[in-house]
Chain A
Amino acid sequence: EVQLVESGGGLVQPGGSLRLSCEASGFTFSDYWMHWVRQTPGGGLVWVSLISNDGTSITYPESVKGRFTISRDNAKDTLYLHMNSLRDEDTGVYYCARHLAYSFDYWGQGALVTVSS
């Protein structure tokens, strides 16, 4: 059974940093590209980043470029999202998701990140 479990969420002040982790199991992690997706407090979904299976190809939307860094450790079956210079609008539930044919076929249950002073 495919499982993705996020951790590392919490309350952080504007301008602060946080690192999210996503532990994968039930599939060969190193075979798959992986995403991070955020659900905003209003309920909308926002794509945050994508990393190739070997970590050599990485992309971000303009809204997080230069502030967020996606990475992975295939030996530990773990995906990461390092978030710096956090803003109020980065608040939300962060999901890791597995890539399939330009869609997101398995998701974790999410980690809540709250950016507030």
Chain B
Amino acid sequence: QSALTQPPSASGSLGQAVTIPCTGASVDVGGYSSVSWYQLHPGKAPRLLLYEATKRPSGVPARFSGSKSGTTASLTVSGLQAEDEAVYYCSSYTGSTNWVFGGGTSLTVL
């Protein structure tokens, strides 16, 4: 059982937008701005999409955006493309030098 809760699956049509929530608690998501999101394609290295809830590293398209309210963070993928089909994980720093992850959301592009 993961510390952060994500829906196991999500889907959206090409060109549409989809939002993936990540629910935690006051000791993790609610207590820190250090929420990050990752994209995993099978056989490839995981890719950082967002850090500090809303910041995009260089090279990540603006189609990927994030938000956080209370104990829930969200990743929105706009203008869905076929290559966005992957598993997405959220993560949060929890203090005391510890990190937790969500269980992952498998995104299907229809």
Question: A residues engaging B (CB < 8 A)?
Answer: 4, 35, 43-47, 50, 59, 61, 95, 97, 100-110
Contact B46 A101 (CB under 8 A): no
Distance in Å: Cβ of A23 to nearest Cβ of chain B: 14
Contacts of A95 in B (CB 8 A): 45-46
Contact A103 B36 (CB under 8 A): yes
A110 in complex: contacting residue of B45, B47, B97, B103, CB < 8 Å: B45
Contacts of A44 in B (CB 8 A): 2, 101, 103-104
Q: From known contacts A44-B2, A45-B91, infer whether A105 and B57 are also in contact, taking CB-CB under 8 Å.
A: yes
Q: From known contacts A43-B104, A102-B34, infer whether A109 and B91 are also in contact, taking CB-CB under 8 Å.
A: no
Question: B residues engaging A (CB < 8 A)?
Answer: 2, 32, 34, 36, 38, 43-48, 51-52, 55, 57, 87, 89, 91, 93, 97-101, 103-104
- Smallest Cβ-Cβ distance to A59: which chain B residue: B97
Q: From known contacts A43-B87, A43-B104, infer whether A101 and B34 are also in contact, taking CB-CB under 8 Å.
A: yes
Contacts of B2 in A (CB 8 A): 44
Contact A106 B48 (CB under 8 A): yes
Q: From known contacts A101-B34, A101-B52, infer whether A107 and B100 are also in contact, taking CB-CB under 8 Å.
A: no
Contact A107 B46 (CB under 8 A): yes
B100 in complex: contacting residue of A47, A59, A104, A109, CB < 8 Å: A47
Q: From known contacts A44-B104, A47-B101, A59-B97, infer whether A104 and B36 are also in contact, taking CB-CB under 8 Å.
A: yes
CA distance A101 to B57 in the complex (A): 11
Q: List 28 A-B contacts (CB under 8 A).
A: A35-B99, A43-B103, A44-B104, A45-B38, A45-B91, A46-B101, A47-B98, A50-B97, A59-B97, A59-B98, A95-B45, A95-B46, A100-B51, A101-B34, A101-B51, A101-B52, A102-B52, A102-B99, A103-B34, A103-B36, A104-B38, A104-B48, A105-B51, A106-B45, A106-B48, A107-B45, A109-B43, A109-B45
Distance in Å: Cβ of A72 to nearest Cβ of chain B: 17
Q: From known contacts A44-B2, A95-B46, A110-B45, infer whether A104 and B101 are also in contact, taking CB-CB under 8 Å.
A: no
Contact B98 A61 (CB under 8 A): yes
